Structure 1
Amino acid sequence: MDVADTDRPLRTAGAAEPVSGPSRLSAALPCVLGGLIGFGTLLALSASGRIDLPAAAALAVAGGLSLWGALRAGSAASALARSDAALVEALDELDGLRARARDFAAVSPGWLWETGSDHRYLSLSGGLTALLRCDPRTIFGDSLFDLGTLVADEATWAEYRADIEAGRPFRDLEVSFEGVDGRDLVLRLNAVPVRGADGRFRGYRGCGVDATAETLALVEARFMQAVVHDAIDSVSEGFVLFSADGRLLICNEQYRRAYPTIADMLTPGRSFAEILRAAAERGGLEGADDIGAWVEQRLTRHLQHSAPVDGRLSDGRWYRISEHATGTGGVVKILMDITELKTREEELAQQTARLEQTVAALRESELRYRQLVELAPYGIVIWDRAAIRFANGAAAAILDMAAEALEGRPLAGFLEDGDALAAMLAGAADGEEQRLECDALRPDGERRRLEVAASQAVYAGGPAVLLVLNDITDRRRVEGELQRAQKMEAVGRMAGGIAHEFNNMLTAIGGFARLAERNPADPDRVLTCVQEIAKASERAAALTGQLLDFSHRRVTDEREVVAVAPLVRDLRVFLKPLLSAGIDVAILAEDEGAHVLVNPVTLNQALLNLALNGRDAMPHGGTLTIALTTEVPDDAFFARHRSLRPGRYVVIRVTDQGTGIPAEIRDRIWEPFFTTKEPGKGTGLGLWMVYGTAQQSGGAVELEDVAGEAGHGASFALYLPAVDTPAEPTGFDPLHVAEGEGAVILLVDDEDSVRRYLRLVLEEAGCTVVEASDGQEALTRYDEAGGLFDAVVSDVSMPRMNGLELARALETRNQLLPILFLTGYASRETAAGLTAQEGRQIVMKPVTPERLLAALRDLLAL
């Protein structure tokens, strides 16, 4: 029920209406008169002897009693009349109270509510229904305790719940939820306990208000406050703001650096008088009277907001200090560093002193002006919006032209996007000061980065613009070097992780090798050790391959059969230095035998893109899960991807616990250049590249529906057709040339161990091998053998003469000689140069015997 609706007082059913006061008095009056008359008659009869005295006395007593009863009846009637009048007055007052309650409820900005002693709602006023646009109980529940689900902070709700359970009054209980129409609502409730005459708790009466607008305004105000503080900290001038009562509100770091002796005092809430006294005491002023007078003088000047003054502060630098009154009665103080200007002024003053004896006052003034402008470290230009009319030496040096050659030229010709910038700067002639950054174009094509400040000026009696140019090219270069240094730090962290993995592999290789050496007569033990060494070297090769993929140093885009489980596990090495603190990586590889036909470079990059997207979605930490399974997708999957062939697919799922992807943009995430990240934080190509990798490999990529709901993370599934595990070779087929003869190979490598390994492989395949440790020795061996070689196997990077230089030298001897290059890394440009001529191939190290012989067999077959 509504608290404004109160029932009327109930009357007993069937009861007669009470007699009013006058009616009761008229009914009792005849009885009183009759009693008086009868008593008088008895007295008369007794006096005349007609009746004896005892009988008369008895009759008199009876009459008196009648008279007393009549009087009491009259008194009771009067009391009842007064009670009726009081009742009517009370009923009228109650009606007035009801009307007031209804009026207050109608005009209240919130709503009213009431509970019983069990905290269940007895009433919720209609104002709440209108606000929520639904039945309030569907959101508020049936009891005050149901509000706990709407309180954001559990600790806060625990405090309010304790008050409610104890029957104490509470204020500002804030609940928040999404309304039925999608609005975010914030409501605030207040209540007082209701107690009976015996002091026992009977329930709560309270009210509530809609605090949504207030909360949103507070959030916006806090955001704007952060923006303002950030902007103030970004300016190059010192800035401080005092309130109307002289207390510090805002102070940036530039201002604190100007006052190092009192930097600790420049905190919000300090009074200007406290700061001045600390400055006086720490600055060496002696005597309490002197300090008090100095503080009083500075306070007076601070409140008067006088014209800007120049002074040297405690950091030893010169500043132009200006104070301005704010609209609210506060004071803004700005410090502009003019140390360089002061230095120049002092130099000019000294020069002027030497010239005063020989030059007239007017010429001295003109010379002072010209010297100030010419010696200024900034370029100074006067531009009348049509052409440059004056440029000082610094401006000429910035633009790399003589000052005289600049005069008369249009300004736009020296700036990139000159016409647009000129139109913007032209507004300064009308008093609209401008400050911007742009690129200056020198006649030789060099670009210089400039800070340009434009202010109003006069030239030849007409409006003009004074431009101050500051060359910040070197500063931007240093900033760029700092950014590159930060990137190198990230690379260093990654290198540390890779070194850790390689140390593990080298420990296994070296350890098993030593174990095999200790007991070479035990063939089973030696075979076990050799197999473990091979496994460790294969893992090292895979890790190196992923490192090359990451640095884009692979030289081929061809697809190959890839074991997916080792590739997925090795992602941990690369992700460890790239993920933020608080993000855990879980690698779940269920199928160790999963193989796919794919380009390992693009697959590795696709998985990295998905992992980094998951990292960005978890700014507060979480778990990034990379799971590998082999599945046969259902019919619905192939209905969505009609171009795919049914069968087994290797599925790699990358799942995060981030904010998820809203439904309204899920159809656009695969578009190139589409991104929800801030400018400079992403290109929008990451998921597009993942999509392209899946298409290139004959598979598909999907955003999983269940885990991808907004607010509960996202899960991307990469489906790649599964292929059979390649068979292990049982031996080496002979490598023959024409007529079944073994091939004669010139083997060139500067690493002895690598050269011995390659020689053994080639000799086992029936080849005749001639070794050389570098390019120059290889030419000697070639000439000694008369050039009777079927092919050359050469490393690329070698001392004295590298592989490419060797190939060029061999071209002059035999242009048709096949050459197989081996390299640990190479860019695409280097690889293109090595294989530009027919009869040349390149193979990445480490190379297996099978891969080496297959490449040589292809070369010799040409």
Structure 2
Amino acid sequence: MESSTGVGGQSLSGERRFELLVNSVRDYAIYMLDAHGVVTSWNPGAQRFKGYAAAEIIGQHFSRFYTENDQQAGVPQRALTIALTEGKFEAEGWRVRKDGTRFWAHVLIDPIRDDGGNLVGFAKVTRDITERKQAQEALRQSEARFRLLVQGVIDYAIFMLDTTGHVTNWNAGAQRMKGYAAEEIIGEHFSRFYTDEDRAVGMPMQGLRTAEQTGKFETEGWRLRKDGTRFWASVVIDAIRDTNGNLIGFAKVTRDITERKKAQEALEETRAALFQAQKMEAVGQLTGGIAHDFNNLLQAIGGSLETIERRLAAGRGDIEPYVTAARTSIDRATALTRRLLAFARRQPLKPERTDLKALVDELRDLIERSVGEAVRVETRLAPELWPIWADANQVEAALLNLAINARDAMPDGGRLTVRGANTHLDEAAVALEAGMQPGNYVLLDVADTGTGMPPEVLARAFEPFFTTKPVGQGTGLGLSQIYGFVRQSGGCVRIDSAVGQGTSVKLYLPRHQGAEKAEPTPEKAPDQPPPPVTGTVLVVEDEAIVRMLLVEALREQGSTVLEAEDGNAALTILASPTGIDLLVTDIGLPGISGQQIAETARSMRPELKVLFLTGYAGNAATDKEALGPRTRLLSKPIAIDQFIAQVHAMLGNG
């Protein structure tokens, strides 16, 4: 018999050592049964699990640990039979403690045989795994609930991809949105939902790479249904990793937001249309004053020309004052027209460095025309007013709308004061303006001496479509547009008003923080005659008098000049073998436009230089960004010396 030295030098047999080992185990119930299933040994672990002391349970049948239903179904005897026939029985199930409570047990039963192979009993090992069972059941229920949740969602496509982008599962929302049943799409690559143009640039795999690298990819774009129709989708792709951090696939959630996109586009179009309507309403308010102003200018020009004619006919040469008067009137008319066209045209919002002092000075004529002679306009602008960062066209629109509102509040006349000042707003001053930062601002204050607003009107002043004007005399959009523009620019709007005391609308616009730009020097005619202009120029202009003046000016400078009154005549000349160095064309020609002429000319003569002339301020089709190489733009009316200088530059240096 194997033996060893124990505590105190006493010898322990192998059986004694095994007994000590079994009795020291407390996390497992380890005991023996005889051939009939009667308990013959009992370790402390069994007593801890099942509540019976050894004296209480040895000699009892092990079936008492089974539930009543299992006993009636013969589960204990079947376990022993399986252990005998298969050499081992292993299972999990509910077992009963002495106090009647249940626990979930992992059970192992092995048959024990003597040296002759005769059955002498069974070894039974039981472990209480109730907590693990509860965790597994909770996980199972959670997974089941999650599956029900995912499958119950029909407004979102929720599905998974493997690491290469192939679909591995598919919910009801995906089928509803994309038209594919699960059996049609599982195993297919998710790129089939993308448009041809997106697949061509590798967008599907770009999304997976981004999700793998950053954990998430989110975007919006066009996606395809099974029937080939498109929908605008909001897409989120999340990387899925195992406990070791290895990528095992992707979770993809897609939502059809086509209607929302259409609604947003419609809202943007409506806003743009309303803003344009607001500007045109202001233009309409100006019509009477502008007509009066232009009649005065035409009178000055016409009267000057008549006086010049009379004096020349009489042989008198003292005409210089009248030439100067005509030119001054033309300059005033030019400035007024450009300002009005710039204000009225549609254009994208573009914040930029804006000289507020210069803008107010240039706009003063329009303001005075809009408010009428009964309202006195005063401007009080700080001499060193900071430049601002804002859309100049929006500032102009705000000023004119505020001027018109002030005029309506002063039906019997009054005073309109436009004040500009530099100011600093600290944290306390901007605390109530969400998203506004403390810093340097320029205050633009438009104040009137009108009727003022009662508190209930003042409280709603910025609401869209709210107006106190009679139907047909206002859209109620003026102040709301101003509020939106200023807030988008990073500033704020505040109104001070009281009945009988007038109204002051204060616009706080952020100071431009870039380097100050020197004011450009105004263009002026050179003191010396320009050098001769050599080369062949094609002039295309439908206004005969304008064309005559341009052609004669070029010929006086030594150019060879070809002329055409419309696009068809111009294209005939361009198609001929005649050498042409420069095309000068009006943009707004009837029929074939100046741009179309230029495009056709360049297809025939790729190196041809083009000088566009336009009667519109900042024509949308020929913004500086859109002008190609070897192309320039001049706005009418054009000083002849300026025109000649530009032609010379393009022919000589362009």
- TM bin, normalised by shorter chain, reads 0.3 to 0.5
TM-score (norm 1): 0.33
Q: Give the number of the structure whose alpha-carbon radius of gyration is greater.
A: 1
TM-score by length of 2: 0.42
Higher helix share: 1
Higher relative contact order (CA 8 A, sep 6+): 2
